[in-house]
Amino acid sequence: MKKSIVTTIVVLLAVVINTSCSRKVTRVATDAQIDISGRWNDTDSRLAAEELTDEVLTGNWITDHIQEKGKKPVVIVGLVRNKSHEHIESETFIKDIEKAFIQRQKVRVVQGGKMREELRSERADQQNNSSVSTMKKFGLETGADYMLQGNINSIVDAHNRQKVVYYQIDLELTNIQTNEKVWIGDKKIKKFVKN
C-alpha cells in the first residue's frame, strides 16, 4: 500500500515537473515588435538605427561636402558606447547604420576597428606570401572624411512593481580633418513596464 502511494506521488510529481518545464518556440518575423522584458531589444536597435540613418543622410553636410569636394563623402562608423544601465550589444546597431549607408549610396563607407586591423594584417601577410602581381600594397586605403560616433544612455525610474525606462541614443558626425562637428542627432525611446 505504502509502495503504491509513493509510486503514485512520484509519477504525479514527474508529470507536474514535465508539464511545467515544457517550452514552445514559435518562429516570428524578424521585424515583429515583441517586448517581453521591457529592456533594450532588437526592435529598439532597428528603429533607432533607421531613424538616425534617415536623419544623418538628409543633413546639409552631404550637400556641402559634394559642393566643396565634388564627390561623395567617405564615412567611418566608430564606437557607439553603451553607457546605459544594462548590457547592450551596440554592434548590431552599428551594422544596421553601415548597411543603410551602403544601400542608399549617398556616402562611401570604410572599414574601422578590429576588422580594419585584420585587413591590414592580411595585407602585411601578402607582402611575403603572395605573388607580386596579386599582392595588395600598403598606403592605398581610402581615408575617411567623417567619423560617426555616439553613446547609448538610459535613465530608470522605478517604484514598487512599475518602472519607466528611458533610452537616449546620441550620434555625432565629425569632420576628421578639421575636427568640426557637422551633424548631431538623437533618438529617444521610453518604456513603461508594469509587473
- CATH classification of the domain holding 117: 3.40.50
CA dihedral for 42, 45, 51, 54, sign (positive or negative): negative
- Residue % of the chain over a pLDDT of 70: 92
- Please indicate, yes or no, if residue 3 is contained in any of the structural domains: no
- Partnered with residue 162 across adjacent β-strands are 159, 194
**123-159 residue pLDDT tens:** 999 999 999 999 999 999 999 999 999 999 999 999 9
- Please indicate, yes or no, if residue 23 is contained in any of the structural domains: no
Phi-psi category of residue 113: left, alpha or beta, with phi > 0 → left and psi -120 to 50 → alpha: left
- Please indicate, yes or no, if residue 9 is contained in any of the structural domains: no
Q: CA-to-CA distance for 19 and 25, rounded, in angstroms?
A: 15
**65-116 residue pLDDT tens:** 999 999 999 999 999 999 999 998 888 889 999 999 999 999 999 999 889 9
**17-71 residue pLDDT tens:** 666 667 788 888 878 888 788 888 888 988 999 999 999 999 999 999 999 999 9
- What's the pLDDT at 113? 87
Rg (CA), the chain: 25
- Please indicate, yes or no, if residue 18 is contained in any of the structural domains: no
- Please indicate, yes or no, if residue 127 is contained in any of the structural domains: yes
Range of the domain at 128: 39-194
- What's the pLDDT at 21? 64
- Please indicate, yes or no, if residue 101 is contained in any of the structural domains: yes
Task: With 0.85 as the threshold, say if the pTM is over it.
Answer: no
- Partnered with residue 110 across adjacent β-strands are 76
- What's the pLDDT at 144? 96
- Please tell me the total count of domains within the chain: 1
- Please indicate, yes or no, if residue 12 is contained in any of the structural domains: no
